[in-house]
Amino acid sequence: MKSLALLLALIIFIVISSAAVIEIEVRMKLDGKISFFSLERMNNIVKASTEFYNTGSVAYRARARLDILNGSGLIFSGWSKEKVLMPGERKTFEIYWYSPSKAKNLTARLRIYFGNEIKEVNKTLSIDYVKSSQDIFQIKNFRTYDGHIKFQIRASQSLKDVIVLPSDYMQGWIFEQAKLEELKANKNTEVTLSYEPTVWMPSEVTIHVFSLDGKFHTSKTFELKKEKGIWKYLHYLYDKLSLILNF
């Protein structure tokens, strides 16, 4: 009887252990779904919006990338900020593109990078008209640090919802965009944009600053050269003073 009881206990233990293993395997599921993808065009400003849904059971970080292609040629890549999605969670990503001229039969390719996986969806796009814009922004005191750049923006009038967009940088790098809720007239505002290089090397980046309606736009190209030595600290002090004293 004792042997039978031990055998029965062993069988129950094996069944329970197997069930626990199966439960763990089912629980560890990495997956996601693009719930929607929309393109909104305002003059020559294109806003891409997407919602990503963590349909799996594993938390992960996710980031959206928008590519604009003319045939097979890539003319723009833009990245969203990285966000954490818990299982069952949905989050929205926005990416902007400023088109300098009219263009027909473009392809907007959206990719979501999550874990080690990628989801992709495509839409056609055309820029039918481009209105002239006013140059009311100053972009100054540009500095390059490990993993981020800093600079200041100054507008000649107060504005809300101003987009800061990097472009024309080294292919393969990740450069985040930013949306400023408000710019006050004739006041310096510091902006920080994160970047991730594949292999670091000095290069260039163009910074676009524009209003959502495309009425105001300024762009300026800067050299990506890291701050070093005593100049790093002198420039830091100068930038802080310029913010405090607003010069």
Structure tokens that stand for 233 in this block: 């600290």
What average pLDDT score do residues 192-205 get? Answer: 94
The pLDDT tens digits for 45-94 are 999 999 999 999 999 999 999 999 998 899 999 999 999 999 999 999 99
Largest CA-CA distance found in the chain, in angstroms, rounded: 93
Strand partners of residue 34: 52
Question: What is the four-CA torsion angle of 233, 181, 158, 222, rounded to 10 degrees?
Answer: 40
Sign, Cα dihedral of 81, 166, 110, 36: positive
Q: Which domains does the chain have, with CATH numbers?
A: 33-127 (2.60.40.10), 137-245 (2.60.40.10)
Q: Is residue 21 pLDDT above 60, yes or no?
A: no
What average pLDDT score do residues 103-116 get? Answer: 94
pTM for the predicted model, two decimal places:
0.84
Residue 15 binned pLDDT confidence (cut-offs 50, 70, 90):
low
What average pLDDT score do residues 211-217 get? Answer: 92
What average pLDDT score do residues 179-203 get? Answer: 95
What average pLDDT score do residues 26-40 get? Answer: 90
HEC secondary structure over 110-126: EEEEECCEEEEEEEEEE
